[in-house]
Amino acid sequence: MLAEAREVCPTTTLRLSREGALLVDVRERDEIDRLAFDVPDVVVVPMSEFEQRCGELPRDRDLVMVCQVGERSLKATYYLMYRGHTRVANMEGGIAKWARKGFPVKGDVSAAMASRETGCCGGAAPITAADRPSAQAPGKGCCAPQSKPAGACC
């Protein structure tokens, strides 16, 4: 049985990127043509090509999987974990949340800015134990007390 995938917020992703992590964008090329991450180390491996190309991804470097809202990249994260990758995480909220936080992008941010999220790192206060739905595992997400370093995220 696979462990639960590590999920990180855009703030943590930006920090990891600056520390040498590779962002792996699994969106299709037409999506990337409209709005792209503007950080040095991004590789595009669209989901339509992912099974054939995932062998190109390094195992000796931290990978942060990204997409539009975090769903496809989570699937890709689990796929890599199944294939033995241990240094892989999924960015919650995708480029939509990244752009809403004002992080570097190239292209039209209007679609990303149109919807607002609430909850963990979505512009609202961090989720506390009192706010957490009982179905959500304690300590899940970037704002959980166990995983939030001082001054990071939210």
CATH of the domain at 37: 3.40.250.10
Task: With respect to residue 68, please indicate whether it lies within any of the assigned structural domains.
Answer: yes
Residue 125 pLDDT > 60: no
Task: With respect to residue 90, please indicate whether it lies within any of the assigned structural domains.
Answer: yes
Q: What is the CA radius of gyration of the chain?
A: 15
- State the pLDDT at residue 138: 34
Range in 34-48, 100-114, 126-140 with the lowest mean pLDDT = 126-140
Residue 4 pLDDT > 70: yes
- State the pLDDT at residue 117: 40
- State the pLDDT at residue 153: 53
Domain of 47, in residue numbers? 6-114
DSSP string, 61-121: S-EEEE-SSSHHHHHHHHHHHHTT--SEEEETTHHHHHHHTT--EEE--HHHHHS---STT
Contact assessment for residue 76 and residue 47, using Cβ atoms and an 8 Å cutoff: yes
Mean per-residue pLDDT over the chain, rounded: 80
Task: With respect to residue 12, please indicate whether it lies within any of the assigned structural domains.
Answer: yes
The long-range contacts involving 79-85, CB below 8 angstroms and separated by at least 24 positions, are 79/50, 79/51, 79/54, 80/54, 81/2, 81/3, 81/5, 82/2, 83/54, 84/59, 85/57, 85/59
- State the pLDDT at residue 113: 64
Residues 46-72: b if buried by 16+ CB within 10 A, e if exposed: beeebeeebeebeeeebbbbbbbbbeb
Report the pLDDT averaged over residues 26-39: 96
Task: With respect to residue 66, please indicate whether it lies within any of the assigned structural domains.
Answer: yes
Task: With respect to residue 73, please indicate whether it lies within any of the assigned structural domains.
Answer: yes
Task: With respect to residue 141, please indicate whether it lies within any of the assigned structural domains.
Answer: no
Task: With respect to residue 134, please indicate whether it lies within any of the assigned structural domains.
Answer: no
Task: With respect to residue 39, please indicate whether it lies within any of the assigned structural domains.
Answer: yes
pTM over 0.95: no
Count of domains observed in the chain? 1
Of residues 134, 137, 152, the one with CA closest to residue 4:
137
